[in-house]
Amino acid sequence: MNVKNFVVESIDEMRNKVTWPKYASLQNSAVLVLVASLIFALVIGLIDLSFESLMKWFYDLF
């Protein structure tokens, strides 16, 4: 298989065989990923802050 044949078949597959999502669906998915990422970042941040406070308290005992 040469490069030209590969490119032609790839373009044909992208145009005719791939099912592309509608813009509204894509936008909803992007918002969902953004919100989930923010929630995940907040949870990890709270865990980190708690662990830092716990370690500071533990080291202050000695």
pLDDT over 80 at 1, yes or no: no
35: its two tokens:
């919100």
Find the farthest-apart pair of alpha carbons in the chain and give their distance in angstroms, rounded.
71
What global pTM score does this model have?
A: 0.65
Give the chain's count of helices (H) and strands (E): 2, 0
pLDDT digits (tens, 9 = 90+) for 2-54: 999 999 999 999 999 999 999 999 999 999 999 999 999 999 999 999 999 99
**Helix, strand, coil % (nearest 5) of the chain?**
85, 0, 15
Q: Return the exposure string of 33-43: e unless at least 16 CB atoms fall within 10 Å of the residue's CB, then b.
A: eeeeeeeeeee
> What would the DSSP string read from start to end of 4-15?
HHHHHHHHHHHH
